[in-house]
Amino acid sequence: MTNNSIPEISSSAPDAPSESVTEPTESTESTESFGTLLAQFEQSHTHTKENGTKQLEGTVVSVSAESVFVDIGYKTEGILPRAAFDNNAEGIESGQKISVSVKGRNEEGYYELSRLKLAPVKDWASLEEAFAQKAAIVGRVTGVVKGGLSVDVGVRAFMPASRSGVRDAAEMEKLVDQEITCRIIKLDVTDEDVVVDRRVIVEEEARSREANRYSEVKEGDVVIGTVRSLAAYGAFVDLGGVDGLLHVSDIAWSRVNQPEDVLSVGQELQVKILKVDADTRRISLGLKQLQPEPWDSAADKYKVGQRITGAVTRLTDFGAFVELEPGIEGLIHVSEMSWVKKVRKPGDILKQGDTVDAVVLSVNQAERRISLGLKQALGDPWTDVSLRFPVGSAIEGPVVRLMKFGAFVQLTEGVEGLVHVSEISAEKHINHPQDVLRAGQVVKAQVLAIDREKRQIKLSMKQLVPTSIDEYLDEHNEGDVVSGRLVEQSSGLAIVELGEGVRAISRSATSAPAAAEKKDEAKPDLSSLTSMLQACWKGNAAPVKSETLQVGQVRSFRIVKLDREAKKIEVALA
């Protein structure tokens, strides 16, 4: 036999001599050592079991950020969560005495404690007393059975799966061989039928922690939480026993369409307590409130006339919103989108996500509004219209639309001029522009007037249509000697016809009344006179000379004044 072997025990009859069993000293010492260890184990096991079902007085050893460590007279300390105390264990100090019950051991070897009073279970009478008082007791889960769990509470008890306080079968399996705190909800001594409930204890502890937590948090506090779940309207954040709602509008200063775009389940956040409603047990949280409010400095950052670049975030019936920075949007109204055409809806020229250049038109920090102009960023085409299209200049452009009173002609992008119906043709009267014009037709016109303030330009088409007097003015100059026929005279002035539709004034012609009285005595040959006048106009025949002018007489005249702009000619006898 070795020193570590266990001595054999004789199976001889009682009257066998004691000498038949002989043990060396070393074996006897080994037996005594083993027995001592066994006794210590049994004592320790009995001690734990007995004390695990009754209140113990413990002494606080230390307090950490999450737990309170308690000396309960065992070799290993017990542990309580801070949430088990009022005000999250504020004011709990080392050396303080508290009453606790042992629930079991955790993975680190500490005894898990409870501040609930646990009823000692020794017999059926103890079970009946615990049942009557609805007291919490300790039991050990022995296995998974059909419909629930088997629990040893001094006698075999049944715990339905729905009353286990866990969500699925996998979590139920984890309870096996664990000590739990439960309450008897059914007791039949005759049939030895006991049903226990762990869920009610778990819920009571949760409510206790929740009540303590609600009393701890205050509006304005900044706390750490973990995103527990996401919804369309926000995120629920676990603050350590209670949930707070982080609404989607309080996640960021910029627009957040869906919480999952910026948050994820399990993410740790630092949030601010915005509101605590103790009656409804609701806590409102804010994330953006921990960042500076961008509108506080908007008036200093954005000035009227400043050019900005931003992305179109959304379109409405009346305009497009552009993000200038996170939390600040400006509005481009439909009326500020184009110089060229009337925009009926923003979607005609913009879409969400477009990056645009715009000009700040106004800033109202109090109402948090910034007005932007899209067309202003392109430049106002009317700014230098007088230089580009001076009065009297000729332009060419398409007819963009026809109205009853005239036709609008595009001079350049964003600039249109009006040809009044009376300025379309000099040859005939026009009732409606569409009688002679059509949309899209390219026409030539002359600029008559410009009103930049009213953004109006008056045009004339007939001014550019050549006439006989225009041709005559182009072909002659002052000092030229031309032929003409006297068609009218009075008060020292005479009207001389120089060609078809071309008339001039003569101030040097004198009347001849005597000749007029004798007009019947010597009638000229009209046919020869006409031929002679035509020849004179063409410079092929010499005009008839006379001391005085008579109506119908053809003479030579010198051009003394020629006003091309006013289209006036003055002549004198050559």
pLDDT of residue 257: 83
Q: Tell me if 94 sits within 8 A of 80, measured CB to CB.
A: no
Q: Is residue 28 pLDDT above 50, yes or no?
A: no
463: tokens are 């001014």
Tokens of 225: 């939480």
Q: Within 10 Å of residue 307's Cβ, how many Cβ atoms? A: 10
Per-residue model confidence as pLDDT tens digits over 178-203: 888 899 999 988 888 899 999 998 88
Over residues 450-465, mean pLDDT? 89
Read off the pLDDT of each residue in 473-499 and give the average, rounded to a whole number: 86
Q: Of 40-44, 188-192, 276-280, 411-415, which gets the smallest average pLDDT? A: 40-44
Q: What pLDDT, on the 0 to 100 scale, is given for residue 494? A: 87
Least confident of 18-22, 98-102, 167-171, 320-324: 18-22
User: Could you tell me if 283 and 246 are in contact, meaning their C-beta atoms sit under 8 angstroms apart?
Assistant: no
Least confident of 313-327, 439-453, 513-527: 513-527
Q: How many whole angstroms separate alpha carbon 139 and alpha carbon 127?
A: 12
pLDDT tens, residue by residue, 47-79: 333 344 457 889 999 998 888 999 988 888 999
What does the angle CA 367 – CA 370 – CA 371 come to, to the nearest 5 degrees? 125
Average pLDDT of 353-358? 91
pLDDT tens per residue, range 379-405: 778 888 888 899 889 999 999 999 999
Q: What is the mean pLDDT of residues 450-461?
A: 91
Q: Return mean pLDDT, the chain.
A: 79
Taking residues 476-496, report their average pLDDT.
87
Domains along the chain with CATH numbers: 56-114 (2.40.50.140), 124-204 (2.40.50.140), 217-290 (2.40.50.140), 296-376 (2.40.50.140), 385-464 (2.40.50.140), 477-573 (2.40.50.140)
> Residue 164 pLDDT more than 50?
yes
Which residue would you say has higher pLDDT here, 208 or 262? 262
Residue 428 structure tokens = 């005939």
The 3-state DSSP class for residue 280 equals coil
Query: How confident is residue 119, by pLDDT bands cut at 50, 70 and 90?
Result: low
- Cβ–Cβ < 8 Å for 109, 74: no
| Model pLDDT, residue 489 | 82
**Least confident stretch, 27-36, 75-84, 131-140, 348-357:** 27-36
> Residue 548 in 3-state DSSP?
coil
Question: Rounded to an integer, what distance in angstroms lies between the CA atom of residue 54 and that of residue 113?
Answer: 11
Cα separation values, 371 from 104, 217, 298, 340, Å: 68, 42, 13, 20
The pTM score is: 0.41
Average the pLDDT over 535-553 and give the result. 58
**Which of residues 531 and 414 earns the better pLDDT score?**
414
pLDDT for 550: 81
Q: pLDDT value at position 91?
A: 81
Locate all alpha helices (DSSP H) within 298-383, ordered by sequence: 298-301, 375-378
How far out from the chain centre does Cα 241 lie?
Answer: 34
Burial class of residue 247 (count of CB atoms within 10 Å of its CB; 0-12, 13-18, 19+): middle
Q: Which residue has the higher pLDDT, 330 or 281?
A: 330
Bridge partners (DSSP) of residue 152 are: 140, 156
